[in-house]
C-alpha cells in the first residue's frame, strides 16, 4: 500500500511503521495509522532539503554518525505541539484556590510544566502564581522534547490572537503589545520570564537535575503513550513531587490501571499523600 498527499513524496505502509518506531524510540509517542499525511507534510520538506529520494533513504540518513542534529529535527517535526493560554481553565482555578493556599512553608513554590510545548501553559501558571503569591518566592520550570518550541518559550513572544483566553486583568498586568517589527504580537512580561526557565528534555530519557515540585502539569500528553510508557512516566513523576504535591493531567486522560502512590482528589488531579513541612 502506498499513500500520497498532494505535492509530497509518497510513503509506504512499511516506511510509516519504521518512522513510527523511530518516534516511539525517541519520545515514547505512538504515531498510529491515519497519521500518514501528517508525517508526509512534516518530513517531505526535509527530504527535499537533503535531496533524498524517499523515506527509507531518510531513515538511513538519520542513523548515520554525525547526523544527530537532523534526528533531533525529525523528532521536533513529528512532535505534536497544540496548546493555548489557560487551556482547561479549571486547572488554573485549582492552582489559585487550592494548591497555593496549601503551600504554608517558606521555601519557594515550584511548578513544573513537564511538556511545555510553546510555553503558553507555563506562562499561564506564571500569571496565576505572580498574582496569588505576591511578595513570596516562586519558580516555574518548563521542559519539552522539541528544541524549536523551547526557543519560542524563552522568547515569550506570541501572536496577539493568543491573548483571547487570558483573563483581562492578567493580560493588562503581565503582557505587553508589540510595536514596529513586533506589531501584531504580544510578549510576556520580563517579571514572568525571569521566574520561568525552559529546558529541552525528554521525559522518558535522562533528565537534568530539576529538584522537587509542588505541582507538576502533564496535560494531554499521555494520550499518546501506551500503558507501559505511562507506568514508567508516572513512577518518575511521583518521585519528583513533594509530599502533598499535585500531578495534574488532561481532563480527557486517566491514570486508571497505572500503579502509583498518587490518589485521585478531583477529575484529572492527583495528590501524593503526605505533608511537606520543609
**pLDDT per residue over 30-59, tens digit each?**
777 888 888 888 888 889 889 988 899 999
Pair 119, 153: CB distance under 8 Å? yes
> How much is the pLDDT for 6?
41
Is it the case that residue 146 has pLDDT exceeding 80? yes
Q: Give the integer Cα–Cα distance in Å for 150 and 158.
A: 13
Pair 112, 217: CB distance under 8 Å? yes
One domain, residues 106 and 215: yes
One domain, residues 65 and 12: yes
One domain, residues 112 and 236: yes
In a domain, 118, yes or no: yes
Containing 186, the helix (H) or strand (E) segment is: strand 185-188
Q: Among 57, 78, 99, which residue terminates a domain?
A: 78
> How much is the pLDDT for 8?
67
Question: pLDDT class for 7, splitting at 50, 70, 90?
Answer: low
Helix (H, G, I), strand (E, B) or coil at 236: helix
Q: Among 42, 59, 78, which residue terminates a domain?
A: 78
Question: pLDDT class for 168, splitting at 50, 70, 90?
Answer: very high
In a domain, 278, yes or no: no
CATH of the domain at 190: 3.40.50.150
One domain, residues 41 and 121: no
Averaged pLDDT, 116-143: 95
Q: Could you say which of 9, 18, 30, 42 is catalytic?
A: 42
One domain, residues 52 and 152: no
What is the per-residue pLDDT across 192-248, written as a single tens digit (0 to 9) for each? 999 999 999 989 888 999 999 999 999 988 887 888 999 999 999 999 999 999 999
One domain, residues 109 and 28: no
Note if 144 is an active site residue: yes
One domain, residues 30 and 51: yes
Phi, psi (degrees; rounded to nearest 5) at 244? 85, -5
Averaged pLDDT, 248-276: 92
Pair 120, 132: CB distance under 8 Å? no
Q: How many folded domains does the chain comprise?
A: 2
Mean pLDDT of the chain: 89
Question: pLDDT class for 3, splitting at 50, 70, 90?
Answer: very low
Q: Could you say which of 76, 144, 214, 242 is catalytic?
A: 144
> How much is the pLDDT for 38?
80
For 61, the domain range is 2-78
In a domain, 117, yes or no: yes
88's CB contacts (< 8 A; 6+ apart) are 219, 250, 251, 268
One domain, residues 71 and 130: no
Averaged pLDDT, 118-128: 96
- Between 24-28, 156-160, 219-223, the lowest mean confidence (pLDDT) is in 24-28
**Measured distance between the N- and C-terminal CA atoms of the chain, rounded to whole angstroms:** 60
Q: Which residue has the higher pLDDT, 75 or 21?
A: 21
> How much is the pLDDT for 126?
98
Residue 212 CB-density burial (10 A; 0-12 exposed, 13-18 middle, 19+ buried): middle
Is it the case that residue 29 has pLDDT exceeding 80? no
Is it the case that residue 5 has pLDDT exceeding 60? no
> How much is the pLDDT for 82?
66
Is it the case that residue 166 has pLDDT exceeding 60? yes
For 246-263, letters b (16+ CB in 10 Å) and e give bbbbbbebebeeeeeebe
**Helices 13-27, 55-63: inter-axial angle, 10-degree rounding:** 30
What is the per-residue pLDDT across 65-93, written as a single tens digit (0 to 9) for each? 888 888 877 877 777 666 789 999 999 99
The tally of CA atoms less than 13 A away on the side-chain side of residue 244 is 15
> How much is the pLDDT for 178?
82
Q: Which residue has the cell 520538506?
A: 45
Q: Among 78, 110, 134, which residue terminates a domain?
A: 78
Averaged pLDDT, 148-171: 91
Note if 42 is an active site residue: yes
Nearest Cα to Cα of residue 120 among 94, 88, 168: 88
pTM (predicted TM-score): 0.79
Is it the case that residue 1 has pLDDT exceeding 50? no
One domain, residues 188 and 131: yes
One domain, residues 111 and 204: yes
Three cell numbers written together for 166:
487570558
One domain, residues 229 and 117: yes
Amino acid at each position: 500500500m502506498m499513500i500520497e498527499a498532494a505535492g509530497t513524496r509518497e510513503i509506504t505502509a512499511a516506511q510509516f511503521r519504521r518512522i513510527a518506531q523511530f518516534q516511539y524510540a525517541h519520545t515514547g509517542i505512538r504515531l498510529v495509522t491515519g497519521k500518514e499525511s501528517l508525517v508526509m507534510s512534516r518530513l517531505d520538506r526535509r527530504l527535499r532539503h537533503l535531496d533524498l529520494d524517499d523515506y527509507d533513504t531518510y531513515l538511513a540518513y538519520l542513523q548515520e554518525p554525525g547526523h544527530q542534529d537532523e534526528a533531533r529535527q525529525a523528532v521536533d517535526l513529528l512532535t505534536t505541539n497544540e496548546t493555548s493560554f489557560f487551556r482547561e481553565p479549571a486547572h488554573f482555578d485549582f492552582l489559585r484556590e487550592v494548591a497555593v493556599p496549601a503551600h504554608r512553608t517558606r521555601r519557594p513554590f515550584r511548578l513544573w510544566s513537564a511538556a511545555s510545548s510553546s510555553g503558553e501553559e507555563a506562562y499561564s501558571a506564571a500569571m496565576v502564581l505572580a498574582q496569588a503569591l505576591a511578595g513570596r518566592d516562586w519558580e516555574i520550570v518548563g521542559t519539552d522534547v522539541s528544541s524549536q518550541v523551547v526557543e519560542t518559550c524563552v522568547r515569550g513572544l506570541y501572536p496577539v490572537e493568543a491573548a483571547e483566553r487570558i483573563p483581562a486583568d492578567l493580560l493588562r498586568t503581565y503582557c505587553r503589545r508589540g510595536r514596529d517589527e513586533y506589531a501584531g504580537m504580544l510578549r510576556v512580561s520580563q517579571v514572568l520570564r525571569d521566574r520561568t526557565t525552559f529546558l529541552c528534555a525528554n521525559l522518558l530519557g535522562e533528565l537534568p537535575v530539576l529538584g522537587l515540585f509542588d505541582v507538576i502539569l502533564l496535560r494531554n500528553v499521555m494520550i499518546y503513550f501506551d500503558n507501559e510508557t505511562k507506568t514508567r512516566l508516572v513512577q518518575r513523576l511521583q518521585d519528583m513531587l513533594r509530599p502533598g504535591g499535585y500531578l495534574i493531567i488532561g481532563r480527557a486522560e486517566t491514570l486508571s490501571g497505572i500503579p502509583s502512590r498518587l490518589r485521585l482528589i478531583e477529575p484529572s488531579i492527583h495528590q501524593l499523600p503526605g505533608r511537606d513541612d520543609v
